[in-house]
């Protein structure tokens, strides 16, 4: 699996791992910066799913416990899957798609924090 490390900013510098549930060269998940009360964008290139069962995802476990995710804007060409600390996307149709997810977490000193990430997604043919 391909690992991509993105920087997460809050009070401390933390790390989020973006991983692919697909073959290493097919899913490209780029780094993203997340900070309290910020809007961030990440770009993904995702191969079209086979029977909707393939997801590219980013794992936010490094932000610690008490995380919540809220879908602000759902994707139009695919499906979003949020499970535990992972936000995933499966591209069902070719083209450009996007989704917006609000993430909430507690800082190391238990201060509530939140940020919003726009996932800018290109669904491409499988190779």
Span 50-71, pLDDT tens digits: 765 678 888 887 766 678 899 9
The whole-angstrom separation of Cα 124 and Cα 46 is 6
Compute the C-alpha angle 25/48/126, nearest 5°.
Answer: 50
Q: What is the pTM of this model?
A: 0.76
Task: Please list the alpha-helical segments (H only) found in the chain.
Answer: none
The whole-angstrom separation of Cα 122 and Cα 114 is 26
Domain containing 68 equals 3-124
Domain containing residue 108: CATH number:
2.60.40.10
pLDDT exceeds cutoff 50 at 13: no
């Amino acid at each position: 699996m391909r690992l991509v490390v993105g920087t997460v900013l809050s009070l401390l510098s933390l790390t989020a791992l973006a991983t692919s549930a697909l073959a290493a060269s097919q899913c490209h998940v780029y780094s993203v910066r997340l900070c309290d009360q910020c809007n961030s964008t990440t770009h993904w290139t995702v191969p079209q799913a086979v029977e909707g069962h393939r997801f590219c995802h980013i794992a936010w476990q490094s932000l610690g416990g008490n995380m919540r995710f809220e879908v602000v804007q759902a994707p139009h060409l695919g499906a979003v899957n949020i499970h535990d600390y992972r936000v995933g996307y499966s591209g069902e149709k070719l083209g450009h798609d996007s989704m917006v997810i609000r993430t909430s977490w507690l800082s190391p000193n238990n201060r509530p924090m939140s940020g919003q990430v726009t996932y800018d997604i290109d669904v491409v043919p499988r190779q």
